[in-house]
Amino acid sequence: MTTPWEAEARLPAMPRPATPQRSMSMLHHVGHAAPVSADRAPLLRRLSTDQQSTEKPLLREFSVDVEETFQRLLEQEDTDGDMQISISDRGPKSITLKTVKGTTAEVRGTYMLASLLQELALAKDRGERHMVIREAQLAEDPIHRLSRMIRTMFWDNLTRRIDAEGLEKVLLDPKNRSSHRRQLLYVPENEPDMLAYYRRVAQERPDLKLDVEALPTHFTPEYVRDLNQRPGLLAIAMEKQVDELTGAVDMKGIPFVVPGARFNELYNWDSYFIALGLLEDGRLDLAKGPVDHFVFEIEHYHKIMNGNRSYYLLRSQPPFLTDFTRRVYARLVADEPSRDHKPWLKRALCAAIKEYRTVWMSEPRWDPATGLSRYHPEGLGVPPETEASHFTNLLRPYAEKYRCSVNEFTRMYDHGQVHEPELDEYFRHDRAVRESGHDTSYRVERRCANLATIDLQALLYKYEVDIAELIRDEFDDDLDGEHSAVWFERAAFRQRQVDTYLWNEGKGLYFDYDLCQQEQSVYESVTSFWAMWAGMASEAQARRMMRVSLSKFEATGGLVTGTEESRGPVSLARPNRQWDYPYAWPPHQMLAWEGLARYGYMDDARRLAYRWMFMITTAFVNFNGIVPEKFDAVALSHLVTAEYGNQGTQFAYVPREGFGWTNASFQVGLTYLTSHMRKAVAACQHPDDFFHRYRHL
């Protein structure tokens, strides 16, 4: 039989037309669509087959010895030895199993064999020696399978808590390259109960090798630089827990979801996008936690940090707290209408107002000449959390100048023993790049601290509108002396300034504004569509962006971060950056979908979602269930070599976590697909083929 599942067809990227043209309708879209390619092999998806069996496909059940089948499958099919079964392996792509009725049947194809490997690995985890596997499990619709794995396994495996039960898992930091070998936890000095709790845990759990230290209320760049020799985890919010039997009061960490792979801590903007997926999956408990943590961070660390490690103390990330709070609050009210959630909302909203004023509307991040804001964290020296060789090429000439090793020069530079103004300027911008979340990109390299970026202006506009509306609608227009009219005027002012400095009518796009050069950047960034997500664009501006600019970013697999022309040529001397063309990231997809839908371009939002969902699904089908951090949206590939490569790709036998915001983008993306589109994605129908046929229905 040759009915589902096998998606082993090679999926070459379709050539891009020199001047793609689009309408704003999915039915008439012609940008990258092409006739069904004769060169692209049809997607043949097979069930297990046996010519002599009379059992109906999908109803068969296989009786297997777990360890024997596991070893036989790996030896036969994992030809490259990476503990996965993918289209890159060169095995026969077929294995014979016994059915519960005593007959034999073959399981064929990458997808079903990878599914078999995953089920066997999970059975080994459970300690099972023998199991019965239904053929339907192995042939499960990949959309259903991935969504189920995200919902029932990935989120839980990515969940962390900073308490006695969760410390061992969350203390691990793959980015820590210091020589200090004990684990460190820094706790705000004005949280005595938390300090006492963690010190007790450290005494009771000597296996953790944990030192607990008090962090001062105020800290300087010099203090943070010195902490880099002893990096550690930063404490975040906890809740008191009363033992129902004894009445004793203890403390418990509030759970949160980490991005995954090398990012094993609470992140700022990752948490927002992860929460969008968690809310789709009904995990309000996990979506709410980061809001509580961010309020704690603003109170004790004076900002929402990039992540809760000591080397992030001076750096923030793109701010999403007000929209994050609104979404969680709306779900709290819907799920528990009898409870009063206003105190929680007030605390979060007051924290957001404080962050707005003390972080984003204070110098150096705030520019008084334009009234706009920029990414501009404090800091000294070389960022310690990067890969060991990340700055080697930059620093080597300086090391040669001082006749020392790169490591020795780095130490001298970090502690001010040598002075290099050009290097100071480089790292001023580098810190801003990392705060922007877009680390790294030629859009912002060596200039980020001078740029009023469109994405940050859109986010702060959203803050101003959110705060105004919540004060008006939830607090009778008076929140401790804050009134909606003032915040609406702030939003209107920002919109006027953005129109003056960042909007380009001729090009139909927003551009970052260079505050020093007093001119627009020429880099075309997909973050321009954040203005639609925030509601900052006028109807006319949105219409112009859709007609003139959307096609510049739309690739076979979704929206790329910037245009190829803006990125410029790449070479060994000028390598590609991970936030440049041709790469595509989940945050840009989700914000664009919502922004387009907000302005009535739902067909376009669905088309973009289809492209993204197809790319995730084919990677999942063809590469043993992989769900990576990012993609090459032109080549339709997760094999990204820029900078540190891709995250979420290294696992043995079965994916257990995926990657945080990619998981979320899949769950959110499903809500944009029609039933017809879902079936086509599940069948791995190439976007060009799908839209070509769709237009002719």
The Cα 603–Cα 582 span in angstroms is: 24
Ranges assigned E (strand) in 374-528: 451-452, 503-504, 509-510, 513-514, 519-520
Q: Can you list the pairs that 690-695 forms with residues at least 24 positions away whose Cβ atoms lie under 8 Å?
A: 690/610, 690/614, 691/26, 691/29, 691/33, 691/607, 692/33, 692/34, 692/35, 692/36, 693/36, 694/26, 694/27, 695/27, 695/28, 695/29, 695/30, 695/33
Give whole-number Cα distances, 28 to 104, 597, 613, 678, 692, in Å.
49, 18, 20, 20, 9
Q: Which residue has the tokens 């970026």?
A: 453
Q: Any idea of the CA torsion for 549, 553, 559, 561, to the nearest 10 degrees?
A: -110
DSSP reduced 3-state for 133 = strand
In degrees rounded to 5, what are phi and psi of residue 39?
-85, -20
In degrees rounded to 5, what are phi and psi of residue 298?
-60, -40
472 token code pair: 């008006």
CB 493 within 8 A of CB 464: no
Q: Which residue has the tokens 């490997």?
A: 117
Bridge-based pairing of strands 451-452 and 61-65 is unpaired
Q: Which residue has the tokens 């002075």?
A: 419
Which residues are designated catalytic? 439, 629
288 token code pair: 């709410």
Please list, residue by residue across 183-221, b when 16 or more beta carbons sit within 10 angstroms of its beta carbon and e when fewer do: bbbbbbeebeebbebbbebbeeeeebebbbbebeeebee
In degrees rounded to 5, what are phi and psi of residue 130?
-140, 145
215 token code pair: 């962090």
Consecutive H or E run containing 113: helix 110-125
Query: Quick one: which of 166, 160, 218 has its CA closest to 188?
Result: 218
The β-bridge partners of 159 are 257
113 alpha carbon, distance to own chain's centre:
29
Q: Which residue has the tokens 């069996």?
A: 53
| Helix 660-670 and helix 602-622, axial crossing angle in degrees, nearest 10 | 130
Report which DSSP code applies to 53.
-
Respond yes or no on whether the N-terminal peptide bond of residue 364 is cis (omega within 30° of 0): yes
Bridge-based pairing of strands 183-188 and 233-234 is parallel
* Residues in CB range of 656: below 8 A, 6 or more apart: 153, 154, 157
Which amino acid, residue 476? D
The Cα 549–Cα 507 span in angstroms is: 8
The Cα 272–Cα 316 span in angstroms is: 14
Consecutive H or E run containing 112: helix 110-125
